[in-house]
Amino acid sequence: MNERHRLGLQSFDPLPAHTLAIDYNATLLTPTELPNAELKLAHWLESQSTWFAVIICQQPLTILYNPACSAARHQSNMMHEFGHVLLKHPMNELNTDTGVVIKNATHEREAAYLGACLQLPKRALEWAIQQGMCKEDICKHYTASEQMVQYRSRILRINLQ
């Protein structure tokens, strides 16, 4: 993966989302860290399990994330958002009448796929198998959920132990 090599990592090395955030000079914020956010709204957002992360500004890159997510979910969410950045997707639109974010389904699929590749590239899974890692070890090593490891192994047709 080009991002790993650009950062001086091996193709099988874990790529923590915070490393990408630093490299892209991105600011990662929780709702309570949002400047001028109403505390009641911020706490409500943090209590919701229906959202994970969203780019709220492209220049400078600012990503709002839900701190209630597990480490593996957070990693996946951030990689999805960096997928949007790498693919140079425009920001989603907001319907000001309804308050609903209008997402481009194609862009969401592309970012999901690229995010999964960033988090767990083919070479990483191959290396993990060569090292004798089981699914749980792979999850821990790459801060990935079991669902992500299963998804990537299925897509790449790599048999796990």
Please report whether residue 115 resides in a domain.
yes
Does 37 have pLDDT greater than 80? no
Does 1 have pLDDT greater than 80? no
Please report whether residue 10 resides in a domain.
yes
Query: Mean per-residue pLDDT for 57-71?
Result: 93
DSSP states of 58-80 as a string? ETTEEEEE-TTS-HHHHHHHHHH
Q: What is the mean pLDDT of the chain?
A: 91
Q: What is the pTM (predicted TM-score) of this model?
A: 0.90
Contact 118, 1 (CB under 8 A): yes
Instruction: From 74, 70, 63, select the one nearest 28 (Cα to Cα).
Output: 63
Cα distance between residue 118 and residue 3, in whole Å: 8
**Which tokens sit at 23?**
């490299």
Element (H, E) at 95: strand 93-95
Cα distance between residue 43 and residue 51, in whole Å: 13
Please report whether residue 54 resides in a domain.
yes
Cα distance between residue 126 and residue 100, in whole Å: 41
pLDDT for res 140: 98
Higher pLDDT, 15 or 49: 15
3-state secondary structure of 12: coil
Please report whether residue 137 resides in a domain.
no
Give 94's strand partners.
101
Does 99 have pLDDT greater than 70? no
Please report whether residue 156 resides in a domain.
no
- Split into its structural domains, the chain has a count of 1
Please report whether residue 60 resides in a domain.
yes
Please report whether residue 11 resides in a domain.
yes
Please report whether residue 142 resides in a domain.
no
pLDDT for res 38: 81
Which CATH number belongs to the domain containing residue 96 in this structure? 1.10.10
Domain range for residue 106? 2-119
Does 10 have pLDDT greater than 80? yes
